[in-house]
């Protein structure tokens, strides 16, 4: 429930419901970690943990490959994280024939535009391919993967999260999956985050409609962002002659999404470039955005959140996949420290603040700016006169500069957004 704290919900390890109802019997502990959600954040976390010797169960309610509304853009810094996940992962992504983007083009409502260039390139490919690559890598590393499993509750043991209760999406019995740590990587509407009772929302509230269209006109090696009144359009190639195109609107204007291709014609830099008859994947919707968990670690311990389950702001910056992958590295490190040395998971929350504080600030500023067309006109005009500022902004949002607001504040102010370790093994019984 946005804006309100919700009480923690689940079952105790002895089967008692936290909030009443029936008892659930619990078998002996089996897993070191249960990861809920097999998107980039969940699969990467599971992969890293399995390579460290932990016993990991990865649950997802979908059957792979599955479609996912997304910008499908990996910022340049994501490539370095993929390499750290393993050469096999990076090579698989490269072999999937993705597009390679060299920069981003930002277009104001008037049609005036500016291009910022990355220092290197970034990959872009369909989530059906990318998510499957990561999930398969996790399975090869020893992760037990179960698809079509819907997590419904958390299990508690002496005040700490001690597992999950899930069932097959087709029905059947509710089974208990005990674990020393539960990872909520189940996205924007995370059941784990909601059961922990700490999901919030804030303005600006937006919703996105995305489609795949072939043979779009004028698409090259740039991602594009076109700001309008209201909303904006993001588009870019994802390989095989297909372009992903997203229409992002204020929540109050969501009904415009029903006229997806007609709405695209409102944007001067987009009009006439897409043929509705060339759709290769139907329009999907996701949102509303601007949701986050006040605390990415369970109050009593035993669980943490990663990826969109932990925080999700505006997709304009395209940082979602990088944040998921880098967050997975931070989560895995914290979990290993907990399993080996009994350390609190609270260090993960501190690590996220250190890593992402600049990103959160930059996303917030840009998210507000794209809702102010006159300001975007001003920004685009200034960057057109000073191309180095366009490069800097694009690289900051692409994580090439680590998104450090303190490091680049003096330079970005010129844009005038506003005025004045070792492998660990664990000796418990398990699969």
Closest CA to 35 of 64, 61, 59, 66: 59
Confidence class of residue 198 from pLDDT cuts 50, 70 and 90?
low
- Per-position DSSP letters for 1-66, written without gaps between them: -TTS-----EEETTS-BTTSS---------EEEEEE--SHHHHHHHHHHHHTT--EEEE-SS-SS-
3-state secondary structure of 428: coil
Average pLDDT over residues 314-331: 85
The pLDDT tens digits of the residues spanning 212-265 come to: 999 999 999 999 999 998 889 999 999 989 999 999 988 788 788 888 999 999
| Cα→Cα distances 393→70, 118, 415, Å | 21, 10, 9
pLDDT in tens, 295-305: 899 999 999 99
- The sign one gets for the Cα dihedral 99, 395, 421, 430 is negative
Confidence check: pLDDT of 412 > 50: no
pLDDT of residue 91: 94
Start-end of H helices in 97-245: 127-140, 191-196
Strands (E), 82-159: 99-107, 113-124, 144-146, 149-157
CATH number of 10-92+127-202+290-358: 3.50.50.60
Q: What residue ranges do the domains of the chain occupy?
A: 10-92+127-202+290-358
Q: Quick check: 337 pLDDT over 50?
A: yes
User: How far is Cα of residue 212 from the mean position of the Cα atoms in its chain?
Assistant: 19
Mean pLDDT of 152-156: 95
């Amino acid at each position: 429930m946005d804006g309100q704290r919700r009480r923690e919900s689940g079952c105790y390890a002895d089967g008692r419901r936290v909030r009443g109802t029936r008892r659930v019997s619990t078998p002996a502990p089996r897993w070191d970690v249960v990861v809920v959600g097999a998107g980039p954040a969940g699969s990467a976390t599971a992969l890293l943990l399995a390579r460290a010797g932990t016993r990991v169960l990865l649950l997802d309610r979908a059957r792979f490959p599955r479609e996912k509304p997304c910008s499908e853009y990996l910022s340049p810094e994501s490539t370095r994280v993929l390499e750290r996940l393993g050469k096999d992962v990076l090579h698989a992504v490269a072999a999937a024939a993705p597009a390679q983007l060299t920069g981003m083009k930002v277009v104001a409502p008037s049609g005036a535009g500016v291009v910022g260039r990355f220092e290197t390139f970034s990959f872009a490919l369909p989530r059906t391919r990318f998510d499957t690559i990561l999930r398969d890598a996790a399975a090869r590393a020893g992760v037990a993967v179960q698809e079509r499993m819907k997590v419904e509750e958390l299990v508690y043991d002496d005040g700490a999260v001690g597992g999950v209760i899930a069932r097959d999406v087709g029905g059947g019995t509710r089974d208990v999956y005990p674990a020393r740590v539960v990872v909520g990587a189940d996205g924007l509407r995370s059941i784990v985050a909601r059961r922990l009772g700490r999901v919030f929302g804030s303005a600006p509230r937006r919703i996105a409609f995305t489609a795949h269209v072939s043979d779009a006109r004028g698409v090259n090696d740039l991602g594009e962002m076109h700001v309008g009144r209201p909303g904006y359009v993001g588009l870019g190639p994802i390989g095989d002659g297909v372009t992903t195109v997203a229409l992002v609107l204020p929540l109050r204007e969501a009904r415009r999404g029903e006229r997806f291709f007609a709405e695209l014609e409102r944007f001067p830099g987009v009009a006439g470039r897409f043929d509705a008859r060339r759709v290769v994947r139907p329009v999907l919707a996701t949102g509303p955005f601007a949701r986050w968990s006040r605390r990415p670690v369970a109050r009593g311990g035993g669980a943490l959140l990663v990826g969109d389950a932990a925080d999700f702001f505006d997709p304009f910056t395209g940082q979602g996949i990088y944040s998921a992958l880098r967050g997975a590295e931070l989560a895995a490190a914290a979990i290993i420290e907990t399993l080996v040395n009994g350390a609190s998971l609270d260090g993960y929350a501190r690590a996220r603040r250190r890593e992402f504080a600049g990103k959160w600030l930059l996303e917030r500023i840009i998210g507000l700016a794209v809702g102010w067309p006159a300001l975007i006109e001003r920004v685009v005009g200034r960057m057109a006169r000073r191309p180095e500022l366009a490069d800097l902004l694009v690289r900051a949002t692409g994580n090439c500069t680590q998104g450090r607001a303190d490091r680049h504040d003096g330079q970005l102010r010129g844009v005038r957004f506003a005025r004045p370790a070792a492998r660990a093994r664990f000796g418990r019984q398990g699969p």
